Structure 1
Amino acid sequence: MQRVINILLVEDDRLDQMEVQRTLEKKGIVHRLKIALNGEEALAILDESRGNHNRPDLILVDLNMPKMNGFEFLEKVRSVDEYKDIKLFVLSTSDDKEDKMAAAKFGISGFITKPLKLESPPSLDAFNLMIDLMNMQIK
């Protein structure tokens, strides 16, 4: 039996939220998706999940959000020892090398460029990497 992957999506755009959900379903990923509209909400969800089975296995985070942007969120998550093993992927419309390098400093597992389209090789490669990492973690 396939284990359910707990995914936290930190994304304020409703269309991007729906696209992530559709892509997970098309890829056959058995998942539980929680959505936070910004970094502050995401930190609250993480705090609520401490020590229980609903803790995210994977976080997908947008960089450009209100209240607390993706970089601020990444910094806060990586400052908590209990969260250091959570896989982090950035979802961003930015294809800027500086953004990718700045995100990499937080130990992200991948950078997925939006819009997320299964026909787009760079997005598909990063999304497949995300799935492979989750499958390795489950075994």
Structure 2
Amino acid sequence: MQSLTAILLVDDDPSTNYLNEAALYPLQLTTTYLTAHNGQEALDLLAAQSATPEEPVLVLLDMAMPVLNGMGFLQAFQALPASVRAATIIVVVAVSMSSADLGQLEKYSVAGLVSKPLTPDKLMAILRLHFRAVKQG
């Protein structure tokens, strides 16, 4: 399985971050789990990572957050260095989104959209789509 530098959970709800990390941990995708409670914290954490396209950071991004929401994060993400953008895979994890927001996602480097809550099946679908050598089943 492709190695990940880190998984960054971006959600303002600590319970959601805890449950997501609990679902991810048994998969042993990385030893580094990072949590950001808004888009600005996430940008700061990404800038500090030493990820590469071969060992990327997986970002699981909520859209509704204070300070800097998911759409604001995606806009600001475009200004990060190309090396950071190339080493980051963003998957939006949301309860629901407006059709306007869904249309805007196409403008950004979003690898996918998954509905909350994350489940092992949803996680495996993300992994099969975006990472090499994930076991089928």
Shared fold, TM over 0.5 = yes
The sequence identity of aligned pairs, in percent, is 27
What do you get for the CA RMSD once the two structures are aligned? Answer: 2.7
Greater relative contact order structure (CA < 8 Å, 6+ sep): 2
Match of 2:91 in 1: 89
- Determine if contact 2:4/2:58 at 8 Å carries over to the other structure: no
Which AA in structure 1 matches 2:83?
Answer: E
Q: Deviations over 1:14-60 (max 9, x none)?
A: 1211221122134x2332110011011111112222xx359852111
CA distance in 2, matches of 1:43, 1:100: 21
CA distance in 1, matches of 2:129, 2:56: 14
Structure 2 unpaired stretches of 5+: none
Q: Deviations over 1:112-138 (max 9, x none)?
A: 1112234xxxxx34x323212553289
Name the TM-score, length of structure 1 as normaliser: 0.76
Shift of 1:95: 4.8
What are the equivalent positions in structure 2 for 1:63-74 lying under 5 Å apart?
63-74=63-74
What are the equivalent positions in structure 2 for 1:8-87 lying under 5 Å apart?
8-26=8-26, 28-31=27-30, 32-49=32-49, 52=50, 57-80=57-80, 81-85=82-86, 86-87=88-89
Structure 1 unpaired stretches of 5+: 119-123
Name the TM-score, length of structure 2 as normaliser: 0.77
Provide closer, same or farther for how the CA distance between residues 74 and 53 of structure 1 changes in structure 2, counting only shifts above 3 A.
Answer: closer
CA distance in 2, matches of 1:105, 1:53: 23
Match of 2:114 in 1: 112
CA distance in 1, matches of 2:39, 2:56: 14
CA distance in 1, matches of 2:67, 2:25: 30
Provide closer, same or farther for how the CA distance between residues 75 and 117 of structure 1 changes in structure 2, counting only shifts above 3 A.
Answer: same
- Determine if contact 1:58/1:88 at 8 Å carries over to the other structure: yes
